[in-house]
Amino acid sequence: MYDAKAKVLKALAHPTRLWMTEQLANGERCVCEFVDAVDADFSTISKHLAVLKQVGIVEDDKRGKQVFYKLKVPCILNFMSCVEGVIESQVNAQAALLKK
Amino acid sequence: MYDAKAKVLKALAHPTRLWMTEQLANGERCVCEFVDAVDADFSTISKHLAVLKQVGIVEDDKRGKQVFYKLKVPCILNFMSCVEGVIESQVNAQAALLKK
DNA sequence: TTATCATTTGGTTATTGTGCCAAATACTCA
DNA sequence: TGAGTATTTGGCACAATAACCAAATGATAA
């Protein structure tokens, strides 16, 4: 069970994948839109999306020449405010250390 | 920003670290308790806890010979029900595929 | 101070993840 | 069918991670 959960978290634990996941919260996007936005190879983006798909975070939908991805589990994002909280408290702790 | 968030997620994205984090939700634990429970070397456990500490998920408290760790950000766990949902829907999808 | 216990750190090796390129596939339109 | 566009796949080089062992550190008790 912990293995399965860790896999899902691992899928999210990459800056590009995390960013794409948050983008998908605003609605579906085609692969090409990501490629334009991120400065990376088509294949790199495609592989990242495949990772998200494999664990069930997103799903794809081929329409014409393009493939559209959409977020399957919006609750994923509820978590982010907590993660942001972790980061903020870390930043504050570091700042406090520097002041000493 | 996405880098920072990804780091926090990456810290959680390991079965042992995830398990330890959930254990810490029930109160602080000393390193030795984890070593007894997980079948792994002291050093392995210690390093995992260091990863969690480094990103600010847990904090440590040395008391006498022992070091106690505790969860700094309980909200981390709110997320897990969502992750479990992801897994469940994956399992169902796979089952549906097999039936065909 | 020395012995001992609890934990961390350093080093090594095996495994996994990342990103690019090139080639393959899938679809559409002429 | 053939050309062109969108995406995926395979392969490779390189970086990062994980787990173990051995050695170092820190605290306590004898």
pLDDT one-digit tens code per residue, B52-65: 999 999 999 999 99
What SS3 state is found at B17?
A: helix
* pLDDT above 70: residue A100: no
Q: What class has domain A2-74?
A: mainly alpha
Mean pLDDT to the nearest integer, B54-80: 91
DSSP B61: E
* Contact yes or no for B75 and A93 at CB 8 A: no
Distance CA A81, CA A89 (A): 12
pLDDT for the residue numbered B75 = 87
Residue type for B42, please?
F
Confidence of residue B45 (pLDDT cuts 50, 70, 90): very high
CATH for the stretch B2-73: 1.10.10.10
For residues B68 and B30, the answer to whether their CB atoms sit within 8 Å is: yes
Longest dimension (CA), chain A: 61
Average of per-residue pLDDT values in chain A = 91
Q: What is the DSSP letter of A55?
A: T
Domain residue ranges in chain B: 2-73
Q: What is the mean pLDDT of residues A2-21?
A: 95
Residue B48, CA: closest nucleotide via C1'? D18
Percent of chain A whose predicted confidence (pLDDT) is above 90: 66
Q: Which nucleotides of D are covered by protein (CB under 7 A)?
A: 4-11, 17-23, 26-28
